[in-house]
Chains A and B, each alone.
Chain A
């Protein structure tokens, strides 16, 4: 099967889906997430972008698991841990957003300058 795919002409990237496709999607999502983290002003949008980046990592983990070691699911276990930690991160992050909103009455990232020297 693998040899067959490798023998196919390169134009067949459209129909034969492999690790590279999933990695490309994962990298693109990660870059878009980074764009949101450093580029947006709304603090909740920053949190959402962090979740996007974590999800991109999850795609890469699962795709690698399926490509490198499909008979053992270690990558998926790691993905479960990423999921757990991102849930914890979202809970604490939103609590921080609410505390910040209570202190500053805004969710604008540019308003949170208390620690700026």
Chain B
């Protein structure tokens, strides 16, 4: 009974959060809805004897991935898209496609798994239940990962390394030429000198009289920043 209450609460939260992710107008709120969904899914894991996975889900998705998404949102900024006229079919096609997929999945799922008791979960052997109850699923998972699944495990770590290098390489801007170009440009050196002068002037003279930076010099750093960001 208590399990049913927990399940339905998490189910409502997960599906509501997912709908919020897809349909909310603001992308920032979508990311926050994503946290709700991920946490509810961690709850499902706990209900299914997967306590290690629940913790991993919380750490990787709720903390790591959502923060990365939020960084992406902050980096690209919130901007209004150019209005675009869409026909009625264009607007409703995604809903129709998703609905048909859902229908197909449900029909196939019920048809395939109906005979093995769709509303029954498997039974634990007494010794497994004792192990799970005493120390959770972590030790069993670790034994499996380092015995039967050791090759996929190593491959996954290589994949993570490659993905990290690739992400750095893709996201990094081409700095090598730019640094030489902008930092060794004569204007940059002059501007730096002008700022250094201004700084000493501000320190030594009255603040009111010391405004030695001419317009020419002040526009230069802005240009630098704009050129750097591109």
Contacts and interface: CB of A to CB of B under 8 A. Distances in A.
B37 A55 contact: yes
Contact of B44 (A14, A22, A47, A81): A22
A88 B14 CA distance: 23
Contact of A62 (B44, B82, B125, B128): B44
Nearest to B27: A42
Contact of B15 (A13, A15, A32, A67): A32
Contacts of A27: 102, 105-106, 109
Given A80-B53, A102-B230, A6 B117 contact: yes
Interface residues of A, number: 81
A87 B223 CA distance: 37
Contacts of B75: 98, 101
Interface residues of B, number: 87
How would you classify the secondary structure of chain B's contact residues: helix, strand, loop or mixed?
helix
B70 to A, nearest CB: 9
Interface in A37-94: 38-42, 44-45, 47-49, 51-52, 55, 58-59, 62-63, 65-74, 76-77, 79-81, 83-92, 94
Nearest to B22: A36
Contacts of A92: 163, 166-167, 170
Given A45-B27, A52-B18, A71-B125, A66 B166 contact: no
A74 to B, nearest CB: 7
Contacts of A41: 81
Contacts of B215: none
Nearest to B157: A84
A85 B158 CA distance: 11
A41 B22 CA distance: 10
5 contacts: A27-B109, A63-B121, A65-B50, A86-B65, A90-B68
Given A2-B117, A49-B21, 19 more contacts: A13-B119, A14-B4, A15-B1, A21-B7, A25-B14, A27-B105, A30-B105, A32-B98, A34-B101, A44-B72, A44-B73, A69-B122, A73-B140, A76-B52, A77-B149, A88-B163, A94-B167, A108-B82, A110-B84
Interface of A: 1-2, 5-6, 13-25, 27-36, 38-42, 44-45, 47-49, 51-52, 55, 58-59, 62-63, 65-74, 76-77, 79-81, 83-92, 94-99, 101-102, 106-108, 110
